[in-house]
Amino acid sequence: MLDDIFNEARDHMQKSIEAMKKEFLTLRTGKVTTAIVDNIKVDYYGTPTPLNQVGSVTALDATTIAINPWEKSMLPEIEKAIQQANIGVNPNNDGDFIKLYFPPMTAEQREEIVKQAKAMAEKAKVAVRNVRKEANNKIKRLEKDKEISEDEAKRALDKIQKLTDEHIAKIDEALKAKESDIRRV
């Protein structure tokens, strides 16, 4: 019973960290990545479709992303979707493909993005703490129902706290790495 609670808590905490890292990919650092446009949906014949499914998305250099649609008729739709996504750049359509030129980031922009990263990390920490609370409640319920002893409950609660501390530390490490990545010029 307790092992199930531990495994479930560990899995959920790990998923919180993975979700945060996936969110981190959407943040711009000194070098642009194609992940910046991952959340953009294009109206593909009436169906909202991810941008990378209507054309190839490549980073040409540190400041430019090129989108080459598989159907040239999709150029206006892709352009419109990028403008609506409000990612901080205007698309340049040359009739064959679209280029996104990202200007170098200012110090203020970098600090703003660091704030966004901190908010994402805090959200992940809250998720981890919620998992801890849920696990603790299950353990206390087992103790109340006399399915485990008081000592077993105490050890289990300590183990859940240790698990929580480990995952919070991992979140802090990931945030620290992302911050230095964002601030690197």
Digit-coded pLDDT (tens) for 109-166: 889 999 999 999 999 999 999 999 999 999 999 999 999 999 999 999 999 999 999 9
Burial of 93: CB neighbours in 10 Å, binned 0-12, 13-18, 19+: middle
User: d(Cα 77, Cα 43) in Å, to the nearest integer?
Assistant: 6
Question: What digits encode the pLDDT tens for the residues 52-108?
Answer: 899 999 998 888 999 999 998 889 999 999 988 888 788 998 888 899 998 888 888
The Cα–Cα gap between 111 and 33 comes to: 19
- The span from the CA of 8 to the CA of 165, in Å, is 16
Residue 10 CA to its chain's centroid (Å)? 19
C-alpha 178, offset from chain centre: 11
